[in-house]
Chain A
Amino acid sequence: MLWVDKYRPKTLDQVMVHQVIAQNLKKLVTEQDCPHLLFYGPPGSGKKTLIMALLRQMFGPGAEKVKVENKTWKVDAGSRTLDIELTTLSSTNHVELNPSDAGFQDRYIVQEIIKEIAKNRPIDTKGKKGFKVLVLNEVDKLSREAQHSLRRTMEKYSSYCRLILCCNSSSKVTEAIRSRCLNVQINAPTEEEIAKVLEFIGNKEGLQLPSGFAARIAEKSNRSLRRAILSFETCRVQQYPFTSKQVIPPMDWEEYVAEIASDIMKEQSPKRLFQVRGKLYELLVNCIPPEIILKRLLYELLKKLDVELKHEVCHWAAYYEHRMRLGQKAIFHIEAFVAKFMSIYKSFLVATFG
């Protein structure tokens, strides 16, 4: 088992960060009438961990006995019948799913499947809770239509079905849904907190950590606890005993983006643009999300640019990322950004150095 899973705290009392939130959640479920919850915060900050611990608090260890089901639902969409495939994780008392997996059909998931589960799934009568829980992941990726469809479901079946929604960016969740939930903001752990978790894991694994080693990993983790634990384990595999000079391996794709950044700062030409296209494709086929590529590229460029250009370049990054959302093929927009950058940078060079 990977350390990220092995050392995921199981109960609300065991968490090593977000302790205050965990204690609050505990109070929340002592009463029967707990509201719907919306957990939001950056990737790897610990949302999932809290949600699982919360379910355990509600339903006892049974909540961990989940079964994975891959089911094809037949949905009647007026003139034709759609087959929608969906993976669900469920225990006796809860069901977890990722409705945005259905892409543009996500509305049907909400209209048919979620409503069905909310309405019909039998309540475990032996259980102490009068309701079941539906966990929906990545609600920020749901279409507007799907989000609208959720509103009344949240009210109508609320006396016996609680929703726990989870997402990264709460700005993308409509006001109507946010106002129906208790919003639980999960901040990314600080570097100190991350270092503490790493030291704890090191200790459990019986490892010797040179002083400042955990802190160095934490610093490079971009405040993502998951990432820190993963790279800690990679370090362990690459070289043990640890040395105080040991490099913390960066992610492959990040190095690749750094290369692209220096490529386009060295030469601004159609030929270079073409070369870079190959690299961008490479990243995309490896499933690095396009907005992550664009943000990383911006990060690399900002490190090297004159202050005057920083404003301009960050504007265009925001501009093209927005266009990318509205469009269909990400590559066009990333490439447009690269081209824009080249043109700006070139005229800057000409103006400055002649």
Chain B
Amino acid sequence: MAPVLQSSQQWVEKYRPKQVKDVAHQEEVVRVLTNTLETSNCPHMLFYGPPGTGKTTTALAIAHQLFGPELYKSRVLELNASDDRGINVVRTKIKDFAAVAVGSGQRQGGYPCPPFKIIILDEADSMTEDAQNALRRTMETYSKVTRFFFICNYISRIIEPLASRCAKFRFKPLSEEIMSSRILHICKEERLNLDAEALSTLSSISQGDLRRAITYLQSAARLFGSSISSKDLISVSGVIPQEIVKAFLVTCKSGNFDVANKEVNDIIAEGYPVSQMLYQLLELVVEADDVSDEQKARICKKLAEADKCLVDGADEYLQLLDVASNTMRALCNMPQEFSYEC
């Protein structure tokens, strides 16, 4: 007998729902699309929300359920940020696809096959404004035979004239309960053992992003075997051990610049992501009882600035050192203004 080829699919793909009804936690959009399956009618759609909440999954599922494998290729055009979607592509490829006429809506092979095509523009927030503007006409002209599905993380990056033509659905971060139940389902399928603590850790460190949770789970399973503890999950997640963040704050309180500098150097050498450090520092500072509101305000303001600088590509060491220095001055009640600047 030929050896059975083990699936080389990653779990995120393996457990991607194939049907709209299996998408968890996004009731509104599921209801509307279930209706679409019955009536074969749907508006242009805009899905927005944070990563790993089911946007791409939902769009692909409805397209497959409407057209089935036979017609899928000819009726659905999926473009994402890995495709060039500049203004030229909008004027040519997208327009051409949108313009093609389709036959009357006849059910085929058990699929509704409504009389329109779908163009899925995934990660649409990375399209330029010009390209989006060029889409307006196409959308209007061919709205009889083409439906557009826009998908993005940030709705503010979609120009108003496009957004206003769509039915908008916000994809919510998954709640911890839903997250837990999906995770447990996978654990059962993959024969993993996850204790209650590990389960709650995984739900909370994933912050509503199910893709992240599944990736962590698979990583931990591959690294640590089928019994997974909360510690294992933390170690694959890039979360910084709480002791380190606490020690950093204690050093800032001590007021010794050189010690703080040394600690910043160590944090960088260990390879901890500074953006994560800022985030955990924020949580710790906000909840601290022995830090006054004014001190908190001073510290948090700088954390926000440093985070923005990191997004711009600034150096991690310099930003963290600046944060350390500012935090120290706030906690030791040193004046906020510098003395020698002119």
Does A associate with B in a complex?
Answer: yes
Interface residues of A (CB under 8 A from B): 24, 27-28, 31-36, 40-42, 45, 76-79, 108, 110-112, 115, 129-131, 145, 148-153, 155-156, 158-160, 169-172, 175-176, 178-183, 185-188, 223, 291, 294-295, 298, 302, 307-312, 314-315, 317-319, 321-322, 325-326, 343-345, 347-348, 351
Q: Do B325 and A78 touch across chains, with their CB atoms under 8 A apart?
A: no
B268 to chain A, nearest CB (A): 6
Q: Do A315 and B310 touch across chains, with their CB atoms under 8 A apart?
A: no
State the total of A-B contacts with C-beta under 8 angstroms: 206
Q: Do B215 and A78 touch across chains, with their CB atoms under 8 A apart?
A: no
User: Do A179 and B209 form a contact, CB below 8 Å, given A40-B271, A318-B318, A344-B341?
Assistant: yes
Q: Do A312 and B222 touch across chains, with their CB atoms under 8 A apart?
A: no
The segment out of B35-43, B78-86, B104-112, B163-171 that lies at the interface is B78-86
Q: Do B314 and A111 touch across chains, with their CB atoms under 8 A apart?
A: no
Complex CA gap A89/B276 in Å reads 33
User: Do A186 and B271 form a contact, CB below 8 Å, given A33-B9, A158-B13, A318-B314?
Assistant: yes
Q: Do B82 and A149 touch across chains, with their CB atoms under 8 A apart?
A: yes
Residue of A nearest to B310 (CB): A171
Give the residue among A34, A41, A302, A311 with the most B Cβ atoms within 10 A.
A311
Interface residues of B (CB under 8 A from A): 5-14, 51-52, 56, 80-84, 86-89, 122-123, 126, 153, 209, 211-212, 215, 218-219, 222-223, 236-238, 257, 261, 268-276, 306, 309-310, 312-319, 321-322, 325-326, 328-329, 334, 338-342
List residues of chain A with CB within 8 A of the CB of B219. Answer: 28, 35, 182
A354 to chain B, nearest CB (A): 15
Complex CA gap A147/B12 in Å reads 20
List residues of chain B with CB within 8 A of the CB of A187. Answer: 269-271
List residues of chain B with CB within 8 A of the CB of A307. Answer: 257
Q: Do B81 and A295 touch across chains, with their CB atoms under 8 A apart?
A: no
B179 to chain A, nearest CB (A): 14
Complex CA gap A156/B9 in Å reads 11
List residues of chain B with CB within 8 A of the CB of A343. Answer: 341-342
Residue of A170, A176, A291, A312 touching B238 (CB-CB under 8 A): A170
Q: Do A314 and B321 touch across chains, with their CB atoms under 8 A apart?
A: yes
Residue of B nearest to A188 (CB): B269
Q: Do B338 and A185 touch across chains, with their CB atoms under 8 A apart?
A: no
Residue of A145, A179, A298 touching B126 (CB-CB under 8 A): A145
A-B contact pairs, 26 of them (CB 8 A): A35-B222, A45-B271, A78-B88, A145-B81, A145-B126, A148-B123, A148-B126, A149-B82, A151-B81, A151-B123, A152-B80, A152-B122, A155-B13, A158-B9, A171-B276, A171-B316, A176-B51, A181-B215, A188-B270, A291-B315, A295-B317, A310-B325, A311-B334, A314-B261, A343-B341, A345-B340
